[in-house]
Structure 1
Amino acid sequence: MWKALKVVVNWVWVISLLVAGTTFGVMDGWAHHGWVGAVMLGFVGFAAGAALASSPALILQILSAL
């Protein structure tokens, strides 16, 4: 039961960060650079979301520095 809950929470965490990073990149790229910027910054946002999703401790360090 607890192992399944941990897996579900982990998947929700990863998917939400990937979607958030990609969405932010696409919106910023579209607003400032058009289609090409939306595609490229969407990819950059996806990579940043993947990097942050792999280490929740990194996000806590970044937030504590602010």
Structure 2
Amino acid sequence: MSIIYVLIPIAIILVALAIVIFFWAVKSNQFEDLDRQGYNILFDDDLPPEEKKLAEQRRINQERKDAGD
């Protein structure tokens, strides 16, 4: 029964810590742009210029091939 005297304050401290971290995250705009990271994988912005040119050429060639079929 005496363990409750230890567990209840620990639980209260953990809940208070979670609330503080949540409000810090909201205040520092951590939840402002949730979609950007999901869309980053779709863009080739991180490629070097040479690879961007090759990707563009491949896209153009694929469009020509699809238009010809």
Name which structure has the greater RCO, CA cutoff 8 Å, separation 6+: 1
Based on CA coordinates, which of the two structures has the bigger radius of gyration? 2
Structure 1 length-normalised TM:
0.42
More helix by percentage:
1
